Amino acid sequence: MRQLGSWAARAGVGFVRACAVAIVSMLVPAVWAAAVALGIWWGPTNPWSWLAPFVLVCAGTLALSRPVCRMVRFLVARWTGTVIPAGYRQAGPVTRMSTGYWWNGFGYERTRRDALLDQKWRVRWTDPANWRDLRFAVTAPLTAGMAASLPPAGAAAAALGLGQPGPAARLTGALGLVAAVAGAPYAWRPLEPVAVRFLRPSPAMALADRVDELTAQRADTTVVQAAEIRRIERDLHDGAQARLVALGLSLTTAELLMETDPDQARALMRDAQAGATASLAELRDLIQGISPPVLTERGLVDAVRALALDIPLDVTVDADAPLRLDPPIESAVYFGVAELLTNAVRHAHASRARVCLARHDTDVIAEVEDDGRGGADLRTGGGLTGLRRRLAVFDGTLEITSPPGGPTRVKMEVPCESL
């Protein structure tokens, strides 16, 4: 009895899904049928009886192809968990020039609205994905659409045939009912392989997206390096360099006073010694910010544990056996954890945090969770956005779960073949 109920549930869900696939797949053929019906209704003597249906077919197919593909991607992701990348070209930024005109990547316009509108249509009509969508809109009705139409067609035949008195009609109705019930759990399933085959980005589109991504990463890396160099220069100029200059002046003055005022010379020597100690401490802090020695000597796990001791939080570090990664990846993960813990203190006002370092196959996973007020998100120009871009250089990912009120959980995952 339980198996019968399970089968009935599967058949019901499958029937609904098959109807949805049939409707979505047959939208474009429905436009074609409407165009043909319009031409027949006007009759052969009407001069528009052939031109108007042709225009309707072309316009309807172009207008419906992209919405149909988006609905198919949504259904496949919802039902099977398979995410098919859209692969559409993204519009670039619109910039106002010194002349007052707006540059949209293709030409100059007088207003920002005109620049955005021109850019939208240029990107839309020059996108190679249009041909892919048109191909799928024509292919889907003949493949997944026909398979998905079997259960609703069988149900319609059953409804019509079983209501007729003749034995042939009733036999047809019974066969239609059997086809509808037996095929319902499976009729919608061809949609996934067909969509994956025809809707995934072409190699040329994937290559173009990868080139754009690498270009953006290179620009981000250049900006980060320039900012880091400026930070180091500023720290040296305002800290250690100023102290060393003062140290030199103190030593010169002490040398001049050695004969005439030994007590004052000894005082200056003590001040110089204190300045040298402070300069050494500042240089150590600067080196710690560039590349912590503990990270180089003892690895990521011990470096994160040492970092946790300096954070004004109750930080718990859970880790697998000591991880030894490639130095650039170790540095990226370490400074990512440092930034997340700093955010927990400054912005989230957390009292406790937990850092989990683990490995899965060839990936290293770092997860930071705090009990702060939450609300963290990826804002343009924000620290988390910059962290995601820095991880993307290594094909890493950043996942954020931070509902208002907390807790905040950030997961960094970076592939590393050396594991």
Torsion sign, CA atoms 83, 148, 137, 117:
negative
Q: Angle at CA 383, nearest 5°, toward 377 and 385?
A: 60
User: To which residue do tokens 């009912």 refer?
Assistant: 177
Cβ distance 214 to 393 under 8 Å? Answer: no
The tens digit of pLDDT for each residue in 175-220 reads: 777 777 788 888 888 888 888 888 887 676 666 666 666 666 565 5
**pLDDT score recorded for residue 370:** 84
Q: What is the mean pLDDT of the segment spanning 283-287?
A: 60
Between 93 and 5, where is the model more confident? 93
Count of residues in the chain = 419
pLDDT above 70: percentage of residues in the chain:
74
Distance CA 364, CA 337 (A): 13
Distance CA 336, CA 399 (A): 13
Average of per-residue pLDDT values in the chain: 76
Domains of the chain by residue range:
2-86+127-201, 89-126, 204-290, 297-415
The tens digit of pLDDT for each residue in 110-151 reads: 888 888 888 888 877 877 788 888 888 888 888 888 888 888
Between 345 and 66, where is the model more confident? 66
Residue type, 351: S
Distance CA 186, CA 17 (A): 10
Sheet order of strands, 363-370 included: 314-319, 352-360, 363-370, 408-415, 397-401
Tokens of 86: 């859209």
Cβ distance 144 to 76 under 8 Å? Answer: no
Q: What is the mean pLDDT of the segment spanning 324-353?
A: 78
**pLDDT score recorded for residue 291:** 60
**pLDDT score recorded for residue 226:** 58
pLDDT higher than threshold 80 for residue 381: no
Distance CA 415, CA 419 (A): 9
**CATH says 297-415 is which class?**
alpha beta
pLDDT higher than threshold 70 for residue 244: no
Q: Which of 320, 316, 333 is nearest to 371 (CA)?
A: 316
Specify the pTM: 0.55
Give the pLDDT band (50/70/90) at residue 301. confident
Give the end-to-end CA distance of the chain in Å, rounded to a whole number. 51
Q: Among the ranges 74-83, 206-215, 344-353, which has the highest mean pLDDT value?
A: 74-83
Distance CA 36, CA 94 (A): 43
**pLDDT score recorded for residue 331:** 77
**H or E stretch covering 11:** helix 2-25
Q: Which of 415, 96, 389, 416 is nearest to 222 (CA)?
A: 389
Q: What is the mean pLDDT of the segment spanning 394-399?
A: 80
Between 97 and 223, where is the model more confident? 97
Tokens of 406: 């907390």
Between 293 and 303, where is the model more confident? 303
pLDDT higher than threshold 70 for residue 406: yes
pLDDT higher than threshold 70 for residue 377: yes
Phi, psi values for residue 264, rounded to 5°: -65, -35
Distance CA 25, CA 80 (A): 18
Q: Which of 189, 164, 161 is nearest to 175 (CA)?
A: 161
Mode of pairing for the β-strands spanning 95-96 and 102-103:
antiparallel
pLDDT above 90: percentage of residues in the chain:
1
SS3 for 376-402 is CCCCCCCHHHHHHHHHHCCCCEEEEEC
DSSP 8-state code for residue 92: -
pLDDT higher than threshold 70 for residue 251: no
Q: Which residues in 260-272 are b (16+ Cβ under 10 Å) and which e? A: eeeeebeebbebb
Q: Which of 330, 325, 339 is nearest to 368 (CA)?
A: 339
Distance CA 393, CA 267 (A): 53
Neighbours of 232 (CB within 10 A): 13
Return the SS3 of 347: coil
The tens digit of pLDDT for each residue in 53-72 reads: 788 888 888 888 888 989 99
pLDDT higher than threshold 60 for residue 75: yes
Between 119 and 47, where is the model more confident? 119
Cβ distance 131 to 164 under 8 Å? Answer: no
Please report how many Cα atoms fall inside a 13 Å half-sphere around the Cα of residue 379, on the Cβ side: 6
Largest Cα span, the chain: 132
Distance CA 390, CA 385 (A): 9
Between 377 and 419, where is the model more confident? 377
User: To which residue do tokens 């995601």 refer?
Assistant: 388
**pLDDT score recorded for residue 71:** 92
The tens digit of pLDDT for each residue in 358-370 reads: 877 778 888 888 8
